[in-house]
Amino acid sequence: MVGGAVASLLARSGMAVHLVDERGPVPWDAESPVGLRVSAISPGSEAILEAAGAWQGVREGRYCAYRRMHVEDGQGRGAVTFEAARFGFSHLGTLVENDLVAASLWAACARAPGLRVHAPGRVSSVLQAEDGVRAELDSGEVLEADLLVACDGARSALRRAVGIDSDAWEYNQRGLVAQVRKTRPNPGVAWQRFLEGGPLAFLPLADGTSSIVWSLPEPVARERLAEDDEAFREQLQAASAGWLGDVEQVGPRAAFPLAMSLGDRYVAGRVVLLGDAAHAIHPLAGQGVNLGLADAAGLVESLCGSGLPASRSGWKRRLRHFERWRRSESNLMAGGVHTLGALFRPAMAAPLRGLGMGLLARSWFAREALLRRAAGQGPNAPRLARGESLASLA
């Protein structure tokens, strides 16, 4: 998603772009079951995808905007509710299947001028020079460019190829995902409950069901995957404390490992890391893809100020600005999510947890600041995330 967004944005800014992807376009079928991988797209990311020419495709598919977010402590030490209208938002976010976002971006890339697709394809080697970079594909074709943008995920081969290290934390947890139907339909609320083993989130889908993300210790996650539907429904019923009634139906389940990794750098010469290649964070706050889309918008903004730089020093200056800006923002978000997750795990932190949630519930200003950052429209957000057009960046 991040690679498709930055490719479309750069091409629509007037640059010649080569997009290399291992799979290529995968059609999205409105009649297919709801995918297990969904993302909570923030209003800022929505504006970025609009600028990339992809949001119209999302609007024509399956999505659910939510206007309320409720967060509670499973030990009864407090709860906080965020209402979009109270803070001047039409909605707090939009739940969209990842496959739909990707398909919409492929369509946007197909319409973008000056964009050539190499798919299926893979970069097999990278050679840098003072005035640019050469990328050899596994087909033998060699591409020469001013810049190589790596969006190849948390296990980025391109990051390793250019010698950028990363710090990683394993949580020894898995995020269990499934589609769930309860007695009452989800009224468009993102609901999250912090439990001893990890948070449980219900995210609203267009048909009134919910997509759940349940962070569980590794052995418990394996148990939940192995048990039959009836046993799993009982566990989920207890964990969700009766919210929206009984668990009536559970779809297929899957689980993925939870980890955090932060790149030591985001730039090496003429190679730039975006998205999970630069930073992968715990899904607790649902900010992973939003951080990546903000990276994409930030890179375009850093490069397009007055046309592409002509000199080596000009490129260095622009890329250094991008790296300082986005690394600071990503580390701040990653650190905050990491600390929040740790705060909700040990029982000894319960009094502090309750105090913090109480203060947040009583402070309108604290909630507004938190919402604006989560919405991707805080004070350091890219201009595209705040609704400016690509033309205004020039």
SS (H, E, C) the chain: CHHHHHHHHHHHCCCCEEEECCCCCCCCCCCCCCCCCEEEECHHHHHHHHHCCCHHHHHCCCEEEECEEEEEECCCCCEEEEECHHHCCCCCEEEEEHHHHHHHHHHHHHHCCCEEEECCCCEEEEEEECCEEEEEECCCCEEEECCEEECCCCCCHHHHHCCCCEEEEEEEEEEEEEEEEECCCCCCEEEEEECCCCEEEEEECCCCCEEEEEEEEHHHHHHHHHCCHHHHHHHHHHHCCCCCCCEEEECCCEEEEEEEEEECCCEECCEEECHHHCEECCHHHCCHHHHHHHHHHHHHHHHCCCCCCCCHHHHHHHHHHHHHHHHHHHHHHHHHHHHHHHHCCCHHHHHHHHHHHHHHHHCHHHHHHHHHHHCCCCCCCCCHHHCCCCHHHC
Confidence category of residue 347, pLDDT binned at 50, 70, 90: low
Q: What is the pLDDT of residue 150?
A: 98
Mean per-residue pLDDT over the chain, rounded: 89
What's this model's pTM, rounded to 2 decimal places? Answer: 0.92
- Which of 77-91, 101-115, 303-317, 376-390 is predicted least confidently? 303-317
Residue 339 pLDDT exceeds 70: no
Backbone angles phi, psi at 392, to 5 degrees: -75, -15
- Which of 97-111, 348-362, 363-377 is predicted least confidently? 348-362
Confidence category of residue 372, pLDDT binned at 50, 70, 90: confident
C-beta neighbour count of 254 within 10 angstroms: 12
Q: What is the pLDDT of residue 338?
A: 60
Q: What is the pLDDT of residue 364?
A: 46
Is 266 exposed, middle or buried (CB count within 10 Å of its CB: 0-12, 13-18, 19+)?
buried
Confidence category of residue 169, pLDDT binned at 50, 70, 90: confident
Residue 306 pLDDT exceeds 70: no
Confidence category of residue 161, pLDDT binned at 50, 70, 90: very high
Q: How many CA atoms lie within 13 A of 67 on its CB side?
A: 7
The residue type at 86: R
Tell which wins on pLDDT, 61 or 352.
61
Residue 41 pLDDT exceeds 50: yes
Give the mean model confidence (pLDDT) for residues 144-168: 94
- Which of 245-254, 311-320, 338-347 is predicted least confidently? 338-347
Give the mean model confidence (pLDDT) for residues 315-319: 92
Give the mean model confidence (pLDDT) for residues 120-147: 95
Residue 335 is encoded by which pair of tokens? 């650190």
- Which of 23-32, 113-122, 292-301, 325-334 is predicted least confidently? 325-334
Q: What is the pLDDT of residue 348?
A: 44
Q: How many CA atoms lie within 13 A of 115 on its CB side?
A: 26
Give the mean model confidence (pLDDT) for residues 351-377: 63
- Which of 77-91, 147-161, 282-296, 346-360 is predicted least confidently? 346-360
| 240-268 tens-digit pLDDT | 999 999 999 999 999 999 888 889 999 99
Spell out the residues 6+ positions from residue 387 whose beta carbon is closer than 8 angstroms to its own.
Answer: 47
